[in-house]
Amino acid sequence: MTLVALVVSPLLGPFTWSRVAREMKRAGIEAVVASPQDSSDGPPWWEQHAASVASVIRESSQAGPFVLVGHSGAGPLLPAIAAAAERPAAAYLFVDAGIPGEGGTRIEAMRREDPEFAAELISALQRGERFPAWTLEDLEEVLPGEDDRRRLLREMRPRGLEFFTERIPTSAEWPDAPCGYIRLSPAYEVPASRAARLGWPVRRLEGGHFHMLVDPMTTAGTLLGVLADLEAGPA
């Protein structure tokens, strides 16, 4: 059985993927939630994040190839995680996430996805603000349960300008395994469309950025459906 590593955005915490992991385990799939870790006095953030997630994969009882599933800001980190794990990746799946190779920094990727938001964010970061700075009210539409919003916000890890302008390297050999995309919200239509142009299987759910917490059963089922498509190969 192949291990599925559900990788959390560096801006958030493990709650994000917890319910999907539970659904996958109920389906007999070994799934682990991996939350990137870092410290202010260590190597570059991307390198710390890749190493910490790779450590979770290596410590799993499941040997052999593994599947990497990245949500949101975890997407661009997946190639570095696979390299650090020192085991072959069986597949990569991006869930409302940026795709590696689209741009060297997070800000550059945001410019392609939403130029207006990117400009506002850069201005805020240059003033010394940090992102995200969400409130309970900000998340009400995408995450109706107040307890869920409070839990998500407790795990939130706001970042400054240097984080968003850090360059994240991608190997010229990537992708070295099949890739797929799940779009949860319209904000990620740009990378979803790019994935489709690359010939990847793409599924679109009409939800919000945290749909995996609102409807974990459907999200898990969609994830497993895309992985089945990847395993079957081109039609």
Question: What is the strand order of the sheet 89-95 is part of?
Answer: 31-34, 3-7, 66-71, 89-95, 179-183, 202-204
Confidence at residue 170, expressed as pLDDT on a 0 to 100 scale: 85
pTM over 0.75: yes
User: Tens of pLDDT along 9-28?
Assistant: 999 999 999 999 999 999 99
- Domain spanning 3-232 has what CATH number? 3.40.50.1820
Mean per-residue pLDDT over the chain, rounded: 93
User: Tens of pLDDT along 14-73?
Assistant: 999 999 999 999 999 999 999 999 998 889 999 999 999 999 999 987 788 999 999 999
Mean of pLDDT values over 86-90 = 91
Per-residue confidence band for 232, with pLDDT thresholds at 50, 70 and 90: confident
Domain ranges of the chain: 3-232
Rg, Å, the chain Cα set: 17
Q: Give CA angle at 65 (85, 218), nearest 5°.
A: 105
What does the block give as tokens for 3? 């291990």
CA distance to 107, 108, 132, 213, per residue, from 123 (Å): 12, 14, 14, 31
* Rounded-to-integer distance, Cα 103 and Cα 25, Å: 35
DSSP codes joined into one string, 107-171: HHHHHHH-HHHHHHHHHHHHTT--B----TTTTTTT---HHHHHHHHHH---B-HHHHT-B----
| Helix (H), strand (E) at residue 183 | strand 179-183
Confidence at residue 63, expressed as pLDDT on a 0 to 100 scale: 81
| Max Cα-Cα span within the chain | 51
What percentage of the chain reaches a pLDDT higher than 90? Answer: 83
